[in-house]
Structure 1
Amino acid sequence: MKAIGFFISAVLFFSLAHTGCKKDKKEYQEYISYTLTVKVDNGADGGPKSGSYQNPAGSIVNYGYRVLDDYTDMVVMLGTDTVPYEGSFIMDGNKTLTVTTKQMVLWKYQTEKAVYYSTPAIGDDGTLYFGTGMGGTSDGAFFAISGDGTLKWSFAGQYSFFSPVIDASGHIYVQDFGYNCYAFYPDGKLKWKLPNTLFPRMVENVGQRCPAISADGTIYICADGLYAVSPTTREILWHFPESRTKSSPAIGPDKTIYVVFRQDRVKAINPDGSLKWENRFDNPWEMSYAAPAVDDRGFVYIASEAFYEGKDYSALYAFRQDNGEIQWRYPVGLFVRASPVIGTNRSVYIATKATETDIARLICLSPEGEKRWEFEVENVHGMPDDIYSTPTLGADGLIYFGAETGFLYAVRASDGVLAWKFDLKMTVNWSSPVILKNGTLYIGGMGGTDYEGYMKAIKTGCPGYAPSPWPRFRHDNKNSGASD
């Protein structure tokens, strides 16, 4: 950015002639000046800087300011009047120039690799746990960050890390892209590792593979089927065999575990590892990268995506929890990687990817599967900007989500109207917003040509989550993946 300066010009002199006596005639020259008081807060750059300046009467003051990256809502006031960010005025009296901004980014923590897949889990002491890496052969790391943005500990991994889950004892469990599962104590000491060599039929896939944890502490892990694992001993309690899964399990109110296996097989598994029911998507080419969401009315919502023979078959399904029957299917029309969430009025929200000809959007459906509204996300980078980030429902009536546009969006849940957006200066992929009761929002992303990662703390006025059955990705701040 070029520096913004200011200059003061035009000095006014007054010549006063004393005419009382011709022979004693004198000329007087008088200098008149006014005080310019400037107050610029920390979120703005430009000039003049904060301070007090004496300026000649009639002089012109040029000014100009820009808002810094971590701030928003800059207001420039000349006296009691709001003025443009750049301009000029005449010093015809004492003046006050005030520049105020609103701080949005409370802190940011930079990592070597992108925070691509991971949504942070929050411990009881406010510690954030999250992973980095972009999948495939990319290595990653796992981090514990204090609530003030300082590093507590980190762990280097061979693969990228997905989103972690925290149990009642504060122990952390996380899977990596290679299907290894790690358990950590809160101080960073490795509790145990469940290596991928235990999963003989495992097939690596992109997606969001996050463990789920039940009320009794059992850890459910997807690999070549579903595994129930003891959190203390690492003992495999039971194994429901299948070939592979791209998504994460979710636990219903009756402790049933819901998982999508292979490409199109939706299964409900009892807590003892037996099959409760099985169903499929309408088309065998549909697949799911999204985690299920479970409501309190007897339904589980699962998103699919498919493009076959020139037609898009992506959809959102409502399955009955008791028998697996499809209650309704809504054709989304665009690929879906984000997971569904459920509102206080039992509306269902889903976000989509984009195509070369169609932009990404956030869609609100009624409990009966009818579209209520949709919010379209602008294309910023001259290419399809997707929404992978699962929406988060705030207690303030707003829906928060990130996108590859680089913005954090706040959209009204009632009608889909944009309340505000903020340029995060980073691309948001799978990482989804996490909100504390004090209004702090955490979200991860990547930026720059080196694809470095960031975890950012954003200041909002939102006092936590909407009181709904499933308001965010993985249900709660510990990423349990389990209904209340």
Structure 2
Amino acid sequence: MKQEILFSCALGMLLALLFYVPTAAVPLGAPPTPIQTPIPTIAPSSLDWTDLPLPQLSTLAVLDGVRTSPTDAGWPQPGGNARHTGRSPYAVPIGMPQLRWRHTIGRTGSPSTPIIAPDGKVYVAYRSSLAVLVALNPDGSVRWSREGLGPPVMGSDGTVYAPAQDEAELWRAIAALDPDGTERWRYTPEQRTEIGQLTLGPDGTIYATGGMPGFDGAVVLALRPDGSLRWAFQGAGLDYTFQPAAVAPDGSIYIVTRSQVVALTPDGKLKWHFDPHGEMQAWPVIGDDGTIYAVAGCCVSDGGGYFYALNPNGSEKWRFPIDRAYRAYAAAAPALGQDGTIYVEGAGQYQGVSFYALSSDGRLKWKYERPEARPPFEAFGTPVIDSNGTIYVGSLDSRVFAFSPEGVLLWVFTGDLGSEPIVGSPSPGPNGRLYAPIPEGGLVALETSIQPEIRPWRDTVIVSGLPDRSFEQLDFMGVGYDADTGIWRSLVQFDWPELPGLVPRETILALPLAGSSDPPQGMDIAVYPVLNRGPGLVTWQTQPPTAEEPLTTFHVGTETGIWVLLNLSWPPPEHGVMLQGPESGETNLKLFLTTEHESGISAVVALDLNIPPTSQVLPLPPYSPPEFRVSWSGFDSDGQIAGYTVQVREGAEGEWRDWVDNTTAEAAQFAGEHGQTYGFRVRCWDNDGAMEPYWLIEDTQTTVDGIAPTAEISSLPETQERTWWIVSWSGSDDLSGITGYQVQVQEGDGPWRLWIQDTPFTQALFISQRSGTRYAFRVRARDRAGNWGTWTPDEAAVTVSGADPSGLFTANLPLIRR
């Protein structure tokens, strides 16, 4: 009889499923009231169990996207850094994104690849007849805009540098702007150089590529952060270039012209040039080992081309053939993974486009093909890689693709972007968003909705009339009372994940209500917390104990084929919940699907997570004086940072200790000891209590140099018949090293005056034509921490005995570098 009852219940449940279709998606933030949706009658073969109103993200994916590396200052330039590796310090949660916002300027204009500050602010230029540079808040609202400025780059102090147009709307200058949009300086080359794009070097040098009308050659300018010219390179015989330069850690500069890869020394001299097979227009990329990567293949007469890897000395390391099925188009540069994998696009000559991964020795690892796509109109662009290793790439037919490092296509976003191509790289930001530039469509921000799901490790029914039976293999569970088998209770247990720093706004238990006893009736169901994990196989006799008072009680009506949503507090009951309905009277059962059901539908807990803000200590120089300023900043998508705690440790193995605790300030003075290295890290929290975890290592570190360097001036003869002579000096420092000298001169008994302001050289030429005059010299040195030493107590003096008193003339001509 008991088996017949169970069979009839199961049959009733299956009959109920014939009338079940997935309902419309239920917002998991809705109040925990039953969802009552009429279900039409459909044939069993048309059931689609995969169309669920539940999130499809994994908790792990969310955790991977919570904390980003604090050691990188945002996304300050195309390619992310001076080497253009395309590696972002930020992670994007895995999952299909949605369009968060779109920004346009209301007129025709192609947006540049955006740059992103560590605080989430976005800078993008729209190039048209009159360009405009726009600064956006994280929510897409405009902070400021400036006309006549092109694609920007950003310094570590927040200064924005951009090519600038003159009155004729020609790109003839470079401008620097403060973070509030105020122009700090503007540099215009003496010759009518047309400026291309900028690159910011690791030391803050601004490199600009370009050309000059009437001059058949490449032009590269190097500017100091204050806008003064460091050097200029004019490469006669080399093609012009407007792609941004790449800068290696040793200071070497690499550019691509239309038909060459060109290497310059750190002071702007030509080292070598390499002539590839085919036309080149994508910027060069420098690997971790110094390898230079460049793409050639556009406009090749035989339809072929190559992807090149060059050694730092200019010799060819290897090449990968790009012909027909692998032919590259000009707009896209490669990106480099942390493991050395190279990601680059390719396209067929007439049909088919590809995205492929190469090993560091030039072998094909994997390839994703779109054989029906039409190049170049549907070709891939320049990829970018987030800190999880996920690769994002746009396409010229208005799509964004996401690939795993193994080549698995994770998703393709095609919605709400219109029909315009995506140009440049989709740039990840500190808020987990992707920013994609679209010609005529503006700049769009894509964001993944973060609501991870947790499936139960146990969901089963226990029946009082069958006290020694386990039903853990059954594909349904029930709640209520059956006149023949007694009380039915459902046990739902979860292994809760650790969510360091995450505070769910809501914790929703979703139950798939699939069937009911006949005739269906309403029911009040109580939710009790379970007090221990329970035995291996649970029965009525071995059921784990529950608390005396329920967590909550809810009511379900007569409908089936719906999700019942219950709000739980966080943290939820450690060992799960027991669902109990009426336990006497006439038969009244409610049936829910379990994880054993072939549809894959079962109870689930969905977490609407409050992602904590992120913060970082801003970079410090390698060496600092005994007292120095430490600054930090944070970002929260809702703009609700409530406080910071900054920690410090001495050396790499020291213990972390709180330095500035529970503060809203974003800077403080630190005092250290000479020779000691200090590391700093920070965490922050928002007004809802979501707290960022500490990074495992320091955000930045610096070594204190508290002893100034010493200097010495070389002696001179007492008299000098010549009107010129070499003045020499030297210096020493016991820690950080000397970076510069100041030299003063005294004429007769007159005051000391500065002769050489700040030089790394240790010799200079002094010229005088005033006879009978005594000249004395003294020097002092500065170290890398910024400490200036004292002036040398002993001076070097010389008296000119020449006969031509035609006045004084001095020249600072460095001869020998220190």
1:473-484 matched pairs, under 5 angstroms: none
The counterpart of 1:349, out of the listed 343, 352, 358, is: 343
SS of 2:255's partner is strand
CA distance in 2 between partners of 1:315 and 1:103 (Å): 34
Query: In the alignment, which residue of structure 2 is the partner of 1:337?
Result: 331
Equivalent of 1:312 in 303, 307, 311: 303
Q: How far does residue 290 in structure 1 lie from its aligned partner after superposition? A: 0.9
1:389–1:103 distance in 2 versus 1, CA, 3 Å: closer
Which of 296, 317, 339 lines up with 1:327 in the alignment?
317
Quote the Cα distance in structure 2 between the aligned partners of 1:370 and 1:317: 12
Deviations 1:332-364 (A, max 9, x none): 222232111111221211113565x22222121
CA contact (8 A) 2:112 2:437 kept: yes
Q: Which residue of 2 aligns with 1:275?
A: 270
Q: Distance in 2 between matches of 1:75 and 1:362?
A: 30
For 2:250, the aligned partner's letter is D
Asked whether the 8 Å contact 2:355–2:380 carries over to 1, the reply is: no
AA of the residue aligned to 2:259: D
1:422 and 1:103, CA in 2 relative to 1: closer, same or farther beyond 3 A?
closer
- AA partner of residue 210 (structure 1): Q
Choose from 239, 244, 251 the match for 2:240.
244
Using the TM superposition, give the Cα deviation of residue 317 of structure 1 relative to its aligned residue in structure 2, in angstroms.
0.8
**SS at the partner of 2:262?**
strand
SS in 2 for 1:174: strand
The alignment status of 1:165 with 2:156, answered yes or no, reads no
Q: Which amino acid aligns with 2:154?
A: I
How far residue 54 of structure 1 moved from its aligned partner, in angstroms, is 9.3
Whole-Å Cα distance in 2 between the matches of residues 438 and 339 of structure 1?
25
Report the 3-state secondary structure (helix = DSSP H, G, I; strand = E; otherwise coil) of the residue aligned with 1:126: coil
How many angstroms apart in 1 are the aligned matches of 2:97 and 2:316? 46
Secondary structure, aligned partner of 2:292: strand
Match of 1:215 among 195, 202, 211: 202
> What is the Cα deviation at residue 331 of structure 1?
1.9
* Structure having the higher Rg: 2
- Native 8 Å contact 1:338 1:387 kept in 2: no
Which residues in structure 2 correspond to 1:368-379 (within 5 Å)? 368-377=361-370
Deviation at residue 214 of structure 1 after TM alignment: 1.7
2:180 to 174, 187, 194: 187
Match of 2:249 among 242, 253, 263: 253
TM-score w.r.t. the length of structure 1 is: 0.66
Q: Aligned to 1:151, which of 137, 142, 149? A: 142
Does residue 443 of structure 2 align to residue 454 of structure 1? yes
Aligned to 2:286: 294
CA distance in 1, matches of 2:181, 2:156: 16
Q: 1:81-100, CA deviations, whole angstroms, 9 ceiling, x for partnerless residues?
A: xxxxxxxxxxxxxxxxxxxx
> 1:287 aligns to what SS in structure 2?
coil
Cα distance, 1:437 vs structure 2: 4.5
Does the residue aligned with 2:423 lie in a helix, a strand or coil?
Answer: coil
Matches within 5 A, 1:76-115: 76=52, 104-113=98-107
Query: Separation in 1 of the partners of 2:413 and 2:356?
Result: 20
Report the CA distance shift for 1:77/1:398 in structure 2 as closer, same or farther (over 3 A).
closer
Distance 1:336 1:367 in 2: 22
In structure 1, what is the Cα distance between the partners aligned to 2:37 and 2:242? 68
Write out per-residue CA displacement over residues 147-183 of structure 1, whole angstroms, 9 at most, x where no aligned residue.
Answer: 12111011122x8x33x21012111112369434332
Stretch moving more, 332-341 or 424-433:
424-433
Q: Percent identity?
A: 25
* CA distance in structure 1 between the aligned counterparts of 2:126 and 2:371, rounded to whole angstroms: 27
1:406 corresponds to 2:410: no
Runs of 4+ in 1 over 4 A off after TM superposition: 36-43, 50-55, 59-62, 74-78
Q: 1:303 aligns with which of 290, 295, 300?
A: 295
Q: Please, which runs of 5 or more residues in structure 2 have no aligned partner?
A: 1-20, 43-49, 55-94, 212-218, 451-610, 612-818
AA aligned to 2:386 is: G
User: Alpha carbons of 1:111 and 1:274: their partners in 2 closer, same or farther (altered >3 Å)?
Assistant: same
Matching residue of 1:121: 115
The one-letter code of the counterpart of 2:210 is A
Segments of structure 1 that go 5 or more residues without pairing to the other structure are 1-35, 44-49, 63-73, 79-100, 464-484
2:535 aligned partner: none
1:229 to partner: Cα distance: 0.9
CA contact (8 A) 1:130 1:143 kept: yes
| Local SS of the residue matching 1:237 | strand
- Call closer, same or farther: CA 1:413–1:40 in 2, change over 3 Å: closer
- Distance in 1 separating the partners of 2:251 and 2:24: 59
Cα offsets for 1:367-409 (capped at 9, x unmatched) = 11122222124657x7743446311112333210111221110
Paired position in structure 2 for 1:265? 260
Shift of 1:39: 6.6
Query: In the alignment, residue 329 of structure 1 is paired with which amino acid?
Result: R
Q: How many residues matched?
A: 360
* CA apart distance, 1:297: 1.7
Contact conserved, 1:119 with 1:444, CA < 8 A, in 2?
yes
Distance in 1, Cα, partners of 2:259 & 2:22 = 67
Deviations 1:288-324 (A, max 9, x none): 2111111122311011223344x22332111111x11
The 8 Å contact of residues 102 and 444 in structure 2, kept in 1 or not, is answered as yes
CA RMSD of aligned residues (A): 3.4
CA distance in 2, matches of 1:228, 1:167: 15
Partner residue of 1:140?
131
Report the residue type matching 2:359 in the other structure: S
Pairwise CA distance, 1:227: 0.4
Match of 1:392 in 2: 384
Distance 1:383 1:336, change over 3 A: closer
Deviation at 1:103, TM superposition (A): 5.9
Task: Give me the whole-angstrom Cα distance separating, in 2, the residues matched to 1:54 and 1:366.
Answer: 54
Distance in 1, Cα, partners of 2:107 & 2:380: 18
Q: Give the distance between the partners of 1:126 and 1:325, measured in 2 at CA.
A: 41
For residue 366 of structure 1, what is the aligned residue in structure 2?
Answer: 359
Between the aligned partners of 2:368 and 2:108, the Cα distance in structure 1 is 27
The offset of 1:418, in angstroms, is: 1.3
1:191 Cα shift?
A: 2.2
**Aligned partner letter, 1:455:** V
Mapped contact 2:260–2:280 kept (Cα < 8 A): no
Say which is worse superposed, 117-126 or 290-299, in terms of deviation. 117-126
| Shift in Å, 1:274 | 1.7
* Equivalent residue letter for 2:384: T
CA contact (8 A) 2:279 2:299 kept: no
What's the offset of the Cα at 1:41?
A: 5.2
Contact 1:319–1:325 (CA under 8 A) maintained in structure 2: yes
> Is 1:418 paired with 2:371?
no
Classify the secondary structure of the residue corresponding to 2:197: coil
| Inter-CA distance 342–191: structure 2 relative to 1 (3 Å threshold) | same
Shift of 1:244: 1.6
